[in-house]
Amino acid sequence: MPRFLLLLALFSFQAAAATPGEAINLDIGTPPVVIVKHSLAQRASRLVRFYDAGIIGLANDGMVKMRDGSRLTLAQRQIAEKLIDNENPDRNSLIYAIAEGHGGQAYEPAVRAAQVRRWKEQFHSGWWIEDAQGRWSIKP
């Protein structure tokens, strides 16, 4: 029975893999993707207050970045930095996990581009976003 489950898992993992030229499925449900998405979701509500205040924003590369920490107390700044330090590796892990679900790290550039596009689209109006030249603006 365990051998059957292993074969079934391997078959379904390969069936989920995309072939070159296919659209990237960012909603692929492999276990690593589900785990990382859960971790990101757990942290999201704590990031919102810093987004709302304009303290942090979405960098051009899709990572979360400190934009203006000057209004924070030392304790608040440490909280924001710790959230960012946990968020960005999880964002990279999500990209790598989706790429693996599509067949390997050769898919990483396409997955990264698609995921960054999605994060920018989903980013709330009124939050700060960085352009390709490093300039910050409020998303309309």
The two structure tokens encoding residue 44: 């999201």
Q: Please tell me the predicted confidence (pLDDT) of residue 54.
A: 97
- The helix (run of H) or strand (run of E) holding residue 64 is strand 64-66
Query: Do 40 and 89 form a contact (C-beta atoms < 8 A)?
Result: no
The two structure tokens encoding residue 139: 């998303």
Torsion of CA 92, 95, 96, 100, to 10 degrees: 170
- The helix (run of H) or strand (run of E) holding residue 15 is helix 2-16
Nearest to 102 by CA among 7, 36, 29, 5: 29
pLDDT band at 9 (very low <50, low <70, confident <90, very high): very low
Average pLDDT estimate for 3-17: 41
The two structure tokens encoding residue 105: 């790290």
Q: Please tell me the predicted confidence (pLDDT) of residue 23.
A: 87
Which DSSP category does 105 fall into? Answer: G
Q: Please tell me the predicted confidence (pLDDT) of residue 21.
A: 55
pLDDT digits (tens, 9 = 90+) for 25-62: 999 999 999 999 999 999 999 999 999 999 999 999 99
Q: Is the whole model's pTM more than 0.75, yes or no?
A: yes
